Structure 1
């Protein structure tokens, strides 16, 4: 197959979630012998590139087109069309003309478009090409959950406004009547409860050659949580972990530590580092040693959506896990099989204490979780799901 990706930003690893997802998908398709190009916006220019050069690392530029009045397009999208800011920032009408030019030169069996750039194409119908919208995750689900838990009145007002805009944008996507993919069954059910056949679940994969066991590292009496630490769900979860879970456990285990590992910690997260035994790392070159050494990965997310890659990475690295039901909704672990799943602070404290005291149980859960990741989220499994989604769409 010839496949064209149209992405929010340049696909790359490491990067934002949308960048990593596109990079993984492109890499796996190239490995299977497909021809892939990608089109993306960066500042005021659009680039059309050969994906093999991206994977090889030379980033050879195939073609570029400069845009005019980019800021006017953003203003029009946000104020006149009422789309959310996260979508409006990717307003780049030149993409439509660029796509017309590209498809006049080359035929693509599949055109794979990330959802936040879809509004640049008021309608998209290219003869002989299957159009696929990649939601990545249900952003409005994240906003609904955040609205529920936010206590600050000004933040609540801002989240409510963005939520209304995102719902409007998701309705725009549905009206295009295109086939779609999304990362998790929970997000699919939320967006398409009555039209489920229109959406295929294609998760992100976990590179098991990178996220592997390390028996040379011994585990310390420490809790760990990872992620981008200025992202609202992670800020809330890190604060909850330290104040409501770690501190009660610290009274029972005086030598217990808590590691908050991830880039760009907010001021609230940085303050947690002043508490005895808490380490807030900021950016680290390699997150793996923290999970190889920690006794328990604790993820008390109260809002968020999509697939929680951080959990799957921890599982692949052999760390036992205590997590919220919302965290698990994009994964599918079974309580007391692959992880301990709970909702309330007292349950988090009790389950985490159980794993700190029972090494055999912790190792059993960790082993089963790693097997689950290998069975459901390996590169081969996910690549096959993506190709199956493309070919199933062709039959429709």
Structure 2
């Protein structure tokens, strides 16, 4: 991180609120917030209010001092049970209740009183709860990132029993909250035009105030020619290797790897019995760990550098069944020049051609066949990987995707 944290801000200063500390950029939500913070700090002093999930997150708080004019990093102490009960009693969305914290409200109030704040950018819907009624000279930008209420509504439709009721309630409550926030905000942004269009259709909001602000990918880092630790021969093996990357306590990722390991892998191994499937990512749930008992499945847990596994992959898969927005895991794999087989849900929102830059499985049953076709034709796989890398260079550089952010925040974009 490089910036002049408290240099002169002729146009005023920015308050940036995010639900997880925006450093290091090692998971999807932190990747976007990290790059947004970097861009904001180039135009004005930034004050950062955020949460830490655990001691590891807290340990990164000093790194924010290199870029933030002031900061507060609060440890989230509220359990899911207590937060859920409080949300039910108060009629709040559970997502909002889980992140509520009196010290964050107090810090925001104090910062607004003491600093020449020109704009507030709230990152992720639960942080809107901390934005008070503002005077007309302070701009409010709400980065929803994903249309979260739609995700909970989808869970509710698929489930039965108590959790179906909880998720249906969350979908309703959160949609009402999102709509109210969008009505307050000067502009609301989503990670893709597909997400923005869904929100506009659900709420009746207009295109001027609900816009897409896409993710990018760090092309100098996720570069097959970069210097990074490669897998040792005993880790890589000689067998065909399929790789999935992601935070492995995140429900959509859990469901994705369970589906692929139990449904697609048996079909693949019936033709290519030596094939292995590596599930690469931090904090694997117990159900993910149990997949290591299946033939050919490897669960690595967290790794020091995911690029080694991506570079070693013959095919990278993204078989998500419920996905919102743009999947960083897909952008990163494509930037690494790997052939990708993605579900339609995981590919949605990515400006890349099916068959030209990646392969899109419209139904789960297609996944095994697409993977086998790539394993059986290394020339096709290599060509797809080269095209994927070039598409990322042409379309998803962070400087390009965040070019409009200063105007959105400071009020110059139309």
Query: Partner of 1:119 in structure 2?
Result: 129
Query: Partner of 2:366 in structure 1?
Result: 347
How many residues get paired?
A: 381
Does structure 1 conserve the Cα–Cα contact (< 8 Å) formed by 2:50 and 2:72?
no
Query: Partner of 2:247 in structure 1?
Result: 228
Query: Partner of 1:23 in structure 2?
Result: 34
Post-superposition offset of 1:177: 4.6
Output the CA distance in 2 between the equivalents of 1:189 and 1:330. 11
2:189 to 178, 181, 187: 181
Q: How does 1:26-41 map to 2 (within 5 A)?
A: 26-30=37-41, 32-41=42-51
Query: Partner of 2:111 in structure 1?
Result: 102
Cα distance per residue 1:308-361 (max 9 Å; x no partner) = 101111111111011111111131322111111122233112111111111122
Q: Secondary structure at the match of 1:351?
A: helix
Q: Secondary structure at the match of 1:109?
A: strand
Output the CA distance in 1 between the equivalents of 2:320 and 2:27. 19
1:380 to 399, 402, 414: 399
Does structure 2 conserve the Cα–Cα contact (< 8 Å) formed by 1:143 and 1:304?
no
Output the CA distance in 1 between the equivalents of 2:71 and 2:243. 44
Q: How does 1:257-296 map to 2 (within 5 A)?
A: 257-296=276-315
Query: Partner of 1:192 in structure 2?
Result: 200
Post-superposition offset of 1:42: 5.6
Post-superposition offset of 1:120: 3.1
Change (3 A) 1:117 1:250: same
The answer to whether structure 1 residue 201 and structure 2 residue 209 are counterparts is no
Output the CA distance in 1 between the equivalents of 2:176 and 2:136. 28
More displaced stretch, 272-281 vs 199-208: 199-208
Does structure 2 conserve the Cα–Cα contact (< 8 Å) formed by 1:220 and 1:294?
no
Query: Partner of 1:158 in structure 2?
Result: 166
Change (3 A) 1:376 1:389: farther
Q: Secondary structure at the match of 1:192?
A: helix
Does structure 1 conserve the Cα–Cα contact (< 8 Å) formed by 2:48 and 2:72?
no
Q: How does 1:204-223 map to 2 (within 5 A)?
A: 204-214=215-225, 221-223=240-242
Does structure 2 conserve the Cα–Cα contact (< 8 Å) formed by 1:145 and 1:304?
no
Output the CA distance in 1 between the equivalents of 2:96 and 2:209. 22
Query: Partner of 1:6 in structure 2?
Result: 17
Post-superposition offset of 1:127: 4.2
Output the CA distance in 1 between the equivalents of 2:381 and 2:363. 20
Q: What do you get for the CA RMSD once the two structures are aligned?
A: 3.1
Change (3 A) 1:347 1:329: same
Output the CA distance in 1 between the equivalents of 2:399 and 2:348. 23
TM-score after normalising by structure 1: 0.85
Q: Secondary structure at the match of 1:196?
A: coil
5+ unaligned residues in a row in structure 1: which ranges?
44-50
Post-superposition offset of 1:63: 6.7
Query: Partner of 1:241 in structure 2?
Result: 260
Post-superposition offset of 1:220: 5.2
Does structure 2 conserve the Cα–Cα contact (< 8 Å) formed by 1:36 and 1:52?
no
2:175 to 152, 167, 172: 167
Output the CA distance in 2 between the equivalents of 1:64 and 1:348. 45
Does structure 1 conserve the Cα–Cα contact (< 8 Å) formed by 2:119 and 2:140?
yes
Change (3 A) 1:300 1:53: closer
